[in-house]
Structure 1
Amino acid sequence: MLSATIFLLFYLLAKKSLYFTASLTFLAIVYQIYEIIKYVEKTNRLLKNFLESIRYSDFTRNFQVQGLGSSFDKLQESFNAVITDFQKIRAEKEEHYFYLQTVIQHIGISLIAFHRDGKVEMINNASKKLFQVSSLKQIQDLSRFSEELVTCLLSLKHGENTLVKVIDNEDILKLAIYATEFKINNRQVILVSIKNIQYELEEQEIESWQKLIRVLTHEIMNSITPISSLSTTLTTILDNFGENNTNKFQDEDLETLNEVKLALETIHKRSSGLLHFVDTYRNLTKIPKPNFGIFQVQKLFNNIHRLMEEEIKRKGIRCEISINPESLELFADEQLLEQVLINLIKNSIHALEHTEHPEIELKAFMNKRGRISIQISDNGQGIIKEVLDKVFIPFFTTKPKGSGIGLSLSKQILRLHGGTITAQSIPNEKTSFTLTF
């Protein structure tokens, strides 16, 4: 139409008489040019809006084009089809993202993703629970938990794993850490998994000790029993022989006979003592299965106090008992726990023998991780650092007449309850044994 109108304008100008008609034709040309520009700009605006929707991931728009011809109708269909496809892809990605987030947040192993400078990108619920934080922006913020852990995390290389021991108030944690490093969007990210394997290590340690004790007791019993029996038999034979042949022996012979009898009696005495010793240690492998039940900690403490009250008063020891909250209840074997607590209190009494103002504190509470804890503390001579890690080892004792099975037995009883027992000590100031369930 524009081409025809321009041709008409030149035709009218050539006539040199139809100036008014030529003017109207010129105005028609201007109007047509304006409409063409407007048409092209509208097309460009549609393309611009479409591309911006993709650029900014805004897939909520619908393109409506009316009255511009069938070609624009097809363009509208194509635009809306592309937008719909992008909406589906985005929805699938969001579903996948939220699925992975849910898995990460609910997995039992602690996960932390961070940069080399310590900036944290992601931390899951298990990590928050382990480190007792609601959020974490920098790895360095964990220094209040453990300086050694922070240093270890920032220095870990790809594929490296390590073990870190952390003492957090009443809890002793042994953290197995594994690191992997990857690049995403030009960012180097370190992903570490952290798991507290204290329970598994103690379980393995106890199992190893039990196997060793079973082998040792079996071999010793097999070797010592016949020696004890033979020494008794030989002593009886010598007694009978001596009584029947007294007149036949000279004084020197009788003296030699008595020495042999004394030697046999010594062998019998020592072999019997060794048999008793071995039989005592067999108790470490014969702990009865706990009879679980729900009971109040207050009741448990009252029973312990009644049993130990007379001895505590006789020794002049001040005893404090506290339970917070007072209604605290345990699901455990009450009899076995009584045995553990009595053993620990007796140890405290022994440690307070040379203390001027002896004190024992027995308390129960919920620790910061929401676990029930029972703690026995005293202000006795304490345990030096070099010995503290060995007190739960079977046969190890610092007492002159100790057997070295009390604390080991207590540890095994706590393991049967799915709990732990830990020791902390500042010599001559405070020593605490904490049972955590």
Structure 2
Amino acid sequence: MIFRSFEAKLVLRVALLLLTLSMPALVILQDWAELLVFLLPLIAYQVYDLIHFTKQAQEEFKQFIDSVHYRDFSRHFNENHVPTQLQTLRKGFNEINATLKAISTERETQFQNLQKVMELVNTGILSYKVDSGEVVLMNEPLKQLLHLPYMQTIHYLAKRDKALYEEVQHLQPGHSKIGTANTALFEKNAFKVLISATTFMHEGEKYKLVVFQNVNEALDETESQAWQKLLNVMTHEIMNSVAPIASLAETIRARLAEIEMKGTDAADVEDLEVGVETIKRRSEGLLRFAETYRSLSKINSLSLQTVYIKDVFANLQRLMQPTLNHKQIKLELAVKDPNLKLQADASLLDQVLINLLVNAIEAVKENPEPEIILSAYQDNEQKTVIKIMDNGLGMTREVQEKVFIPFFTTKKQGSGIGLSLCKQIVLLHKGTIQLQSEEGEGTVFTLRFN
């Protein structure tokens, strides 16, 4: 409608101009030469009016195009005090601007909502161009998860965590897998992440969207619950089976004593005694085995209190100093903040640290200059971190993967429940325990508490 009105006025002006231009021929034919004096100014005026009309429309249209180009949809074209031919045009521009502004506001609102959702979800989200690797989206949870404030391209991830970079690159759309990520450049604090990927096309460009979810704590909790159920069941079944066997063995022994007094064949009695003694010895071993299981399953509640780390370390040093002196092992305590504290069950925390320190003492016994460092500090996430470092023999990767499994041990006299118990206690405190070890270089156990 706007342009039809403009076209009508333009056609009218052109038609009038053509009509005026044809009049000199008629004047000459009719020998009215004196009328040319009046026609020439009229023609000049009509040409000027046509040029001015089209120029005004061009200027208005140019201003409108500029506002669209710079997305200045708030601009308003004044419809008053302008020639009538421009009023309709400006009214149309204002209507178009209002529509575009509404669309832009709606899209901005949707974008802001999407941004808030992406920041609120506890999931890292990354989107990048497949061909160039340019990162177009990286939400805050992902930055915190990977400790990366910014990535211009996905290839930068290779410098920080090459293994994770390769897993992301090779992950096929529509698939998921559990990978390993490291949170820091200088500290190999590995944790498990669930990675999922999809791809999409936009304006001829292929994009890959990758979602990262930290499943380390979930796996730890699931593992702990699974072991808890297993231990409860096994304790119940073993105790139910072993107790009657032990009781029966004792009854048979008493009965054999009566038979022996009555003069029964000595060889038969000896064979029976050997058999019964074997049953009793095995039964007692199973009972001890069940008690070991029970020590794992009975810890299910905490008596929380404020614990100062420097006091915990001091008590631990007093307790272990005789052993350390006897084995000539140097123990170094490093607490950056003397007021560092946490909410914990003091006795269970002591049990964890004693177990880890005993393991460290065992690990450094072959080193000519054995040393253990017990340190604590608060990290950037306001978590309390406790580390037990030793310069012992270290562990193979195979051993590292199994040390937290109940009853796994590399010691001849070990029960294999020490580290499992430590892990369960730390998880009850809503904390994490991580192991870093290199053969020939030593071992570090890192405990983190909120």
Distance 1:381 1:4 in 2: 108
Distance 2:429 2:178 in 1: 25
Answering whether residue 142 of structure 2 is matched by residue 130 of structure 1, we say no
Deviation at 1:376, TM superposition (A): 0.8
* Partner residue in 2 for 1:231: 249
Matches for 1:166-181 after TM superposition, within 5 Å: 166-168=181-183, 169=187, 171-181=189-199
Deviation at 1:420, TM superposition (A): 1.6
Aligned-partner SS, 1:218: helix
Moved more, 210-219 or 354-363: 210-219
RMSD: 2.6
* Partner residue in 1 for 2:101: 87
Matches for 1:162-311 after TM superposition, within 5 Å: 162-168=177-183, 169=187, 171-243=189-261, 245=262, 248=263, 253-311=265-323
Answering whether residue 414 of structure 2 is matched by residue 396 of structure 1, we say no
* Partner residue in 1 for 2:91: 77
**Is the 2:146–2:182 Cα contact (8 Å) retained in structure 1?**
no
* Partner residue in 2 for 1:37: 51
Deviation at 1:3, TM superposition (A): 7.9
* Partner residue in 1 for 2:389: 377
**Is the 1:325–1:365 Cα contact (8 Å) retained in structure 2?**
yes
Distance 1:127 1:155 in 2: 19
Matching residue's letter, 2:211: S
Answering whether residue 174 of structure 2 is matched by residue 159 of structure 1, we say yes
Answering whether residue 437 of structure 2 is matched by residue 411 of structure 1, we say no
TM-score, normalization: structure 1?
Answer: 0.90
- The C-alpha deviation readout for 1:6-40, integer Å capped at 9, x for no partner, is 78877876787984x74355224313321232123
Deviation at 1:121, TM superposition (A): 1.0
Distance 2:345 2:188 in 1: 22
- Distance of aligned partners of 1:5 and 1:238 in 2 relative to their CA distance in 1, 3 Å threshold: closer
- The C-alpha deviation readout for 1:243-268, integer Å capped at 9, x for no partner, is 3x2xx45xxx2354244334323422
Distance 1:63 1:108 in 2: 47
- The C-alpha deviation readout for 1:56-108, integer Å capped at 9, x for no partner, is 43323322355555453333323222212221221121121122122223321
Distance 2:20 2:181 in 1: 91
- The C-alpha deviation readout for 1:122-170, integer Å capped at 9, x for no partner, is 1111111111111101112112332121112122222011121235535
Moved more, 362-371 or 399-408: 362-371
Q: What is the aligned residue count?
A: 430
Answering whether residue 372 of structure 2 is matched by residue 360 of structure 1, we say yes
The gaps in structure 1 that reach 5 residues or longer are none
* Partner residue in 2 for 1:50: 64
- The C-alpha deviation readout for 1:370-428, integer Å capped at 9, x for no partner, is 53221111122332222111111001111111111110011111111122212222233
* Partner residue in 2 for 1:330: 342
| Of 101, 109, 117, the match for 2:123 | 109
Deviation at 1:368, TM superposition (A): 5.3
- The C-alpha deviation readout for 1:194-248, integer Å capped at 9, x for no partner, is 11111111222222222222232222222221111011111112223333x2xx4
**Is the 1:296–1:330 Cα contact (8 Å) retained in structure 2?**
yes
Distance 2:308 2:68 in 1: 64
Answering whether residue 158 of structure 2 is matched by residue 140 of structure 1, we say no
Matching residue's letter, 1:311: T
Matching residue's letter, 1:37: I
The gaps in structure 2 that reach 5 residues or longer are 1-15
**Is the 2:434–2:447 Cα contact (8 Å) retained in structure 1?**
yes
**Is the 1:112–1:192 Cα contact (8 Å) retained in structure 2?**
yes
Distance 2:266 2:410 in 1: 45
Aligned-partner SS, 1:432: strand
- Distance of aligned partners of 1:46 and 1:309 in 2 relative to their CA distance in 1, 3 Å threshold: same
**Is the 1:161–1:176 Cα contact (8 Å) retained in structure 2?**
yes
Distance 2:164 2:19 in 1: 85
Matching residue's letter, 1:44: Q
* Partner residue in 1 for 2:355: 343
**Is the 1:131–1:145 Cα contact (8 Å) retained in structure 2?**
no
Matching residue's letter, 1:72: L
TM-score, normalization: structure 2?
Answer: 0.87
Determine what percentage of the aligned residue pairs are the same residue.
35
| Of 51, 57, 77, the match for 1:63 | 77
- Distance of aligned partners of 1:349 and 1:316 in 2 relative to their CA distance in 1, 3 Å threshold: same
Moved more, 363-372 or 130-139: 363-372
Aligned-partner SS, 2:180: strand
**Is the 1:352–1:378 Cα contact (8 Å) retained in structure 2?**
yes
